[in-house]
Amino acid sequence: MNRCRLTIYYSGRVQGVGFRYTTKSVAAGYEVVGVVRNLADGRVELVVEGDREELEAFRRAIQDSEVGGLIRHEDAAWGTATGAFRGFVIGG
């Protein structure tokens, strides 16, 4: 299995609109683990690990969800999975 880490910073109207909860709900349909959290600068950070194809499908599902239209920009970076996560959670 090709396990990767995907980190995405979302900007736009992504706080106070249920973005994190929608992302957690979408994550339930994929074999991914990680965290989604609000940042002080108004962005949302998503750090997620799993198979690269699964992560790409999860990313598209977020874009296609009801909060996808609120995203103005996403800054994504790929890395090596660290195994630091157990499940998918909403962070502070």
CB neighbour burial string for 19-43, b if at least 16 within 10 angstroms, e if fewer: bbebbbebbeebebbbbbebeeeeb
Catalytic (active site) residue 5: no
| Per annotation, catalytic residue among 38, 43, 52, 60 | 38
| Per annotation, catalytic residue among 20, 37, 52, 72 | 20
Q: For residue 3, give the DSSP letter.
A: E
Catalytic (active site) residue 20: yes
| Active site residues per annotation | 20, 38
